[in-house]
């Protein structure tokens, strides 16, 4: 296992908030590694510090102390501008509440991160189209978010995260706003994408059941890692989720 490429390396990470005169240790010395092509779940209850950890991994928050290296780049030293540029080039993000642009169609939403990269419109839409097909939404590509179900919206969110061909993808409670059936479909889709396209995905959830889709589960409590589980049970990609695979070329 150790000969695999390390994508994320976290060392001795602390995040301390000051609430009035009290110090709250949201993260209290966390170290772990995530490897390329791995689906890693961070599981913890509300207030365990799992979201703080994800925010710092994605460069949305600065750690108080410690190091985060993503593909060897230390993001804890970056300023706001560098972080934005870093996310633009290396990171895909899936939100709990989807966060699609209400004024844009599904395909435009998927193409949005490419817009920030300055990719020409034609090229953008071509790549977005591919991603839309990958998540099985080509019938809905011209729909706006309010014309789609939660599951469909989250698939758009997934395609949006994938379109930039990121080194690492983060998912923040991606099924938090979905019912159990759609949640399972979503998890299967994510599992498939990781398997077939060799993506690295870090997901935060409070649900142990969903965490079972991951290769590895990091349990976190009171800002500390209490247990890291290797998941030996392999999830087989289901048919409907893998059906679109041939249309996605490797970039």
**Residue 69 found at the interface with another protein (CB under 8 A):** no
Q: How far apart are CA 232 and CA 212, in angstroms?
A: 10
Q: Which is nearer to another protein, 24 or 101 (CB)?
A: 101
Residues in the interface with another protein (CB under 8 A) total 34
Going from the C-alpha of 54 to that of each of 30, 130, 159, 172, 197, the distances in angstroms are: 12, 28, 20, 8, 22
CB of 232: closest distance to another protein in angstroms?
32
Instruction: Please select the residue that binds another protein; options are 66, 136, 150, 176, rule is CB under 8 A.
Output: 176
Site for another protein in 152-171 (CB under 8 A): 160, 164
Largest CA distance in the chain: 57
**Residue 44 found at the interface with another protein (CB under 8 A):** no
The per-residue b/e assignment along 3-42, b for 16 or more CB within 10 angstroms, e otherwise, is eeeebbbbeebebeeeeeeeeeebbeebebbbbebbbbbb
Which span (6-14, 57-65, 220-228, 238-246) binds another protein, by CB under 8 A? 57-65
**Residue 50 found at the interface with another protein (CB under 8 A):** no
Contacts of 128 (CB under 8 A, 6+ apart): 107, 108, 110, 111, 114, 159, 163
Q: Which is nearer to another protein, 160 or 216 (CB)?
A: 160
Beta-strand pair 168-172/201-205: parallel
Which span (31-39, 95-103, 130-138, 192-200) binds another protein, by CB under 8 A? 95-103
Q: Which is nearer to another protein, 141 or 191 (CB)?
A: 141
**Which residues would be at the binding site for another protein (CB under 8 A)?**
51, 55, 58, 60-61, 80-81, 84-85, 87-89, 91, 93, 95-97, 99, 101-104, 112-113, 115-118, 120-121, 160, 164, 172, 176
């Amino acid at each position: 296992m150790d000969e695999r490429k390390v994508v994320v390396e976290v060392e001795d990470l602390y995040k301390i908030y000051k609430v009035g005169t009290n110090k709250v240790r949201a993260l209290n010395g966390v170290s772990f590694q995530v490897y390329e092509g791995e689906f890693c779940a961070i599981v913890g209850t509300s207030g365990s510090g799992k979201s703080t950890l994800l925010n710092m991994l994605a460069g949305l928050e600065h750690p108080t102390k410690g190091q985060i290296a993503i593909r060897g780049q230390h993001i804890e030293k970056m300023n706001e501008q560098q972080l934005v540029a870093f996310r633009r080039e290396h990171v895909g993000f899936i939100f709990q509440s989807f966060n699609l642009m209400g004024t844009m169609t599904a395909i435009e939403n998927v193409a949005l991160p490419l817009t920030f990269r300055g990719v020409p419109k034609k090229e953008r839409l071509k790549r977005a189209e591919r991603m839309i097909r990958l998540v099985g939404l080509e019938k809905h590509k011209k729909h706006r978010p309010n014309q789609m179900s939660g599951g469909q919206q989250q698939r758009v969110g997934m395609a949006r995260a994938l379109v930039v061909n990121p080194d690492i993808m983060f998912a923040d409670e991606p099924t938090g706003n979905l019912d159990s059936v759609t949640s399972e479909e979503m998890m299967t889709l994510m599992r498939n994408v990781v398997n077939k396209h060799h993506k690295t995905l870090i997901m935060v959830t409070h649900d142990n059941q969903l965490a079972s889709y991951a290769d590895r589960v990091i349990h976190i409590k009171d800002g500390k890692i209490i247990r890291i589980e290797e998941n030996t049970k392999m999830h087989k990609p289901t048919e409907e989720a893998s059906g679109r695979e041939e249309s996605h070329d490797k970039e």
